[in-house]
Amino acid sequence: MEAVKSLRKKYCPTAMFIAIIAALVMIFIGHKDLARGIVLGTLFSILNFVLMGASIQLRVQRTRRTGAMIAFVLVLLRFGFLALPLVVSIYYDKYHIVTTIAGLFMVQAVMLADAVKKLVLSRPA
């Protein structure tokens, strides 16, 4: 599963890097709760993506129906996992709910930003 590893290496550190930079900016302007929220959300976004990759072995090389069933069960399991930072941010004021939510989409945001960058660069001047 070299492909999955390369994806992890490509997107996860970038997502964490962006979250840390954003958190530093937020701390600098005096909003520690925002900073904690974005780091927490991003951490779980990355863990979700890592789990997704790890579960691929279970899904590929199976029949269409089995693959779809396994995918459905895994989606439900990972949703339970993604709910954790949201619950934490609701109960503890140290973590801001809005930045926690934003952090949960960090890996996807990095992927889309990468795609937009490629699309813009591929266009003739």
Partner 1 sequence: MEMDIQILVKLAAYIGGGMAIGFGAIGAALGEGYAASQADMAISENPEKSSDIVRNMLIGQAVAESAAIFALVVAILLLFIAPQDPTIVTAAALLAAGVSMGLGALGSGLGSGFPAGETCTAMVKVQDPKVLSRMTTVMLISQAVCQTPAILAMVIALMLMFVGFGGPDPVKAVALLSAGLCMGFGAIGSGAGSGLPGGAACQGIGRQPEAQGLLTTNMLIGAAVCQTPAIFAMVIALILMFVNLGDVPFNPYWAAFMGAGLSTGLAAIGSGYGGGMAAGASCEGIARNPKTVGVVTTTMLVGQAVAQSPVIFGLLISFILLFKGYGEAFALAPGMALLAAGICMGFGAIGPGIGSGIAATSAVSWVARNEENAGLLMRMMLVAQAVTQSTAIYSMVIALVLLFVI
Between CA 116 and CA 43 the distance in angstroms is: 23
- The residue from 14, 18, 47, 59 that contacts partner 1 (CB under 8 A) is 59
- Nearest partner of 108 among 55, 45, 35, 63, judged by Cα: 45
Minimum Å gap between C-beta 121 and partner 1 is 10
Q: Give 3-state DSSP helix, strand, coil % of the chain, rounded to 5.
A: 85, 0, 15
Considering the complex, what minimum distance in angstroms separates the CB of residue 119 from partner 1?
5
Q: Which of 13, 27, 79, 92 binds partner 1 (CB under 8 A)?
A: 79
Are the C-beta atoms of residues 40 and 89 closer than 8 Å to each other?
yes
Q: What does the binding site for partner 1 look like in residue numbers (CB under 8 A)?
A: 1-4, 6-7, 49, 52-53, 56, 59-64, 67-68, 71-72, 75-76, 79, 82-83, 86-87, 90-91, 97, 101, 104-105, 107-108, 111-112, 114-116, 118-119, 122-123
